[in-house]
Structure 1
Amino acid sequence: MRKLTFAMNVSLDGYIAARGDDLGWSGGDGPDSSPGDELFRWWSDRVAATGLALYGRKLWANMSSHWPTADQRPGATPAEKEFSRRWRDMPKVVFSSTTSTVDWNTRLVTGDAVTEITRLKAEDGGPMDIGGATLAAAAMRAGLIDEYVLVTVPVLVGGGTPFFTALDSWVNLNLVETRTFPGGVLLTRYQTRR
């Protein structure tokens, strides 16, 4: 059975995107910043280790508008080139009823997300990451997430898209890792107690 992890950058007040889907804060050094080198390498290594990435429509649109060709842009750093290649190569599933085409080692699912995620978890294969607030919320409510990774950026954005959704019952977690990155960014990793 595959492990499903929800991992995202999150503001200290609990948001994965500020109002208006603004992600400019997520680098850790204030508005319009990019992630530090060490944090960027951590995310890149995570992509390389992911057996299958599950995306909601908005996150897919954001990632696919930049990363497929980022390695061909003038001034792209070696780390950006590596991330771009890793992202293109990583198997991906996009869950959307409005998207009509996907590319870059990706398939589209237009049916029930919880049913498909449950099926994918039962398969053999490497670990799965899930991203996108709506998609992750559905998986949370269904009890499908095995691990939560919060990369907390020391900024208060005051509202937007929350990392966690409202749940009908408690979910008990075990802290399994903490790590500090430059700029005061704190990684915390929790496993779901089953």
Structure 2
Amino acid sequence: MKTTVYIATSIDGFIARKNGDIDWLPSGEDVEGEEDYGYQEFIDSVDALVMGRNTYELALSFDSWPYGAKAVFVLSSRKVDIPSDIARTVEALCAPPQEVVHRLSERGFKHLYIDGGKTIQGFLREGLIQQLIITKVPILIGTGIPLFSSLPHDVKLHHLETRQFENGLVQSKYEVIGNAP
């Protein structure tokens, strides 16, 4: 099973403000031709998304459901309200990362998009992330929700490529090559 993180951070490493707001992120219209920063190509490569409850609730607040008919698994220990218009593709799970990967693999999924700060951190701690695609947005927000937290050991990465966009965003792709104790 391949698991990939595709996420944007501020230069100071935050994925959202403390209140979860992402108003500092640029929209696709910020560059002529409505740049999507490789998102469509990436989303087309994954079978399903695994996200935390906060990320799911943020996605619900958008004008439209951003994942179309893609399977979405929401990790939560509490009941998750799933609107009827997305109930065919969204499912709640309450399981640790290792079990999530096992269950979804058994169901035939091959490539998971892991999203949401705590979810990414949990999968990374357990050595379950194979690839990181991180887009740095040229802004300092000073405080917020960090992408990374403490780890029990170093996580070695191999740089695969870096792209720069007209509006100053810099996107780097890394392969996770090992978790060193």
Same fold (TM over 0.5): yes
Structure 2 residues not aligned, in runs of 5+: none
Q: Where is the helix percentage greater, Structure 1 or Structure 2? A: 1
Q: Which has the higher strand share?
A: 2
Aligned identity (percent) is 24
Decide whether the 8 Å contact of 1:57 with 1:99 is kept in 2: no
> What's 1:171 paired with?
155
Q: Are residue 183 (structure 1) and residue 163 (structure 2) matched?
A: no
Report the 3-state secondary structure (helix = DSSP H, G, I; strand = E; otherwise coil) of the residue aligned with 2:139.
coil
State the Cα distance separating 1:192 from its structure 2 match.
Answer: 0.7
Letter in 2 for 1:51: D
Give 1:84-123 correspondences, 5 Å limit.
84=66, 87-102=67-82, 103-121=87-105
Q: TM-score, normalised by structure 1?
A: 0.79
The residue identity in structure 2 corresponding to 1:23 is I
CA RMSD of aligned residues (A): 2.0
Matched residue of 1:156: which SS?
Answer: coil
Secondary structure of 2:140 counterpart: coil
Instruction: Map residues 134-173 of structure 1 onto 2, 5 A cutoff.
Output: 134-173=118-157
| Inter-CA distance 190–131: structure 2 relative to 1 (3 Å threshold) | same
Determine helix, strand or coil for the equivalent of 1:98.
Answer: coil
Aligned residues: 170
Matches within 5 A, 1:18-167: 18-27=17-26, 34-35=27-28, 36=30, 37-38=34-35, 40=36, 42-66=38-62, 68=64, 84=66, 87-102=67-82, 103-121=87-105, 124-167=108-151
The AA in structure 1 aligned to 2:146 is P
Q: Is the CA contact (8 Å cut-off) linking 1:67 and 1:88 kept in structure 2?
A: no
| Unpaired stretches in structure 1, ≥5 consecutive residues | 28-33, 70-83
TM-score by length of 2: 0.84
| Structure-2 separation of matches of 1:58 and 1:188 | 25
Contact (CA 8 Å) 1:180, 1:186: kept in 2 or not? yes
